[in-house]
Each structure stands twice: as C-alpha cells, then as structure tokens.
C-alpha cells in the first residue's frame, strides 16, 4: 500500500521520513514501514492507506485533519474518500481505525478483541 500521513504531532527518537515542515506526506510502503518500526508515538495523526495502483488525490486546501473534526467519529466518512483504511490518533486518547474491506476488519478484530465498532462507541 501507499500511505498519506497528515495532521500529525509526534515524538520520535530517530529520524523518520516525515517532519514538521510539511502539512502531509505521501509515503511508499517502505517509507511507512520505517515510520512504524521507529517506535514513533503519534499524538495526533490521520493515516490513510491506498492500494499501490490507486491514485492518491489530496485537496491541499482541505487535507485530512482530526482535531476539531467531528466527522472522524463517523464510520463511513473517510477523510480521503478513495482510501481503503484510515487510522486516526486522537490526542493520544483514542485510536480510530476504519476499514472499507470487511475481511481486514474481521482479521483486525481477531487480534484486538477489545476493539469496538464506531456505531457502538457513539451510541
């Protein structure tokens, strides 16, 4: 997959392929793995995943953000509409993960049985 990381605030002990000089980054799978394997702590972030053959279209005037955005709590509302997975770290308090592929969700749920669906969390 390819990835877009936006609206981020993080702590990292090593250099990673994102920094605070830009509002968002488009990363290859290899670059994304560097971030994941760096033990970086995201305080705020929107991470959107795309199949490698999918075009990534970002409206730079309206890029994905978490803070102050109530629509992140809506399961069907993806910040970049053609992404297939979305991971949102919300003030280090919550992590929201959205899947368009039900099989990915079911596999995720096998490993994280404490995960609850947004519809259940919101009610």
d(CA 105, CA 74): 16
84 alpha-carbon distance from chain centroid: 10
Q: 16: closest CA among 27, 6, 4, 7?
A: 27
Name the residue ranges covered by the structural domains of the chain.
2-122
Reported as a single tens digit per residue, the pLDDT across 55-83 is: 888 776 667 788 788 888 888 888 888 89
- This prediction has a pTM of 0.87
Higher pLDDT, 48 or 39: 48
DSSP of 30-70: HHHHHHHTTTPEEEEEEEEEE-TTSPP---TTS----TT-G
Asked if residue 72 lies in contact with residue 96, where contact means CB atoms within 8 angstroms, the answer is yes
């Amino acid at each position: 997959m390819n990835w877009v990381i936006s609206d981020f605030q993080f702590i990292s002990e090593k250099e990673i392929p994102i920094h605070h000089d830009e509002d968002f980054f488009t990363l290859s799978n290899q670059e994304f793995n560097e971030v994941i394997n760096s033990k970086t702590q995201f305080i705020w972030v929107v991470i959107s995943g795309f199949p490698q053959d999918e075009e990534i279209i970002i409206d730079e005037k309206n890029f994905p953000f978490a803070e102050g955005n109530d629509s992140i709590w809506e399961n069907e509302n993806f910040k970049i509409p053609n992404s297939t997975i979305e991971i949102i770290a919300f003030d280090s308090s919550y992590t929201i993960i959205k899947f368009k592929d039900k099989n990915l969700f079911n596999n995720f749920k096998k490993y994280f049985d404490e995960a609850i669906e947004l519809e259940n969390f919101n009610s």
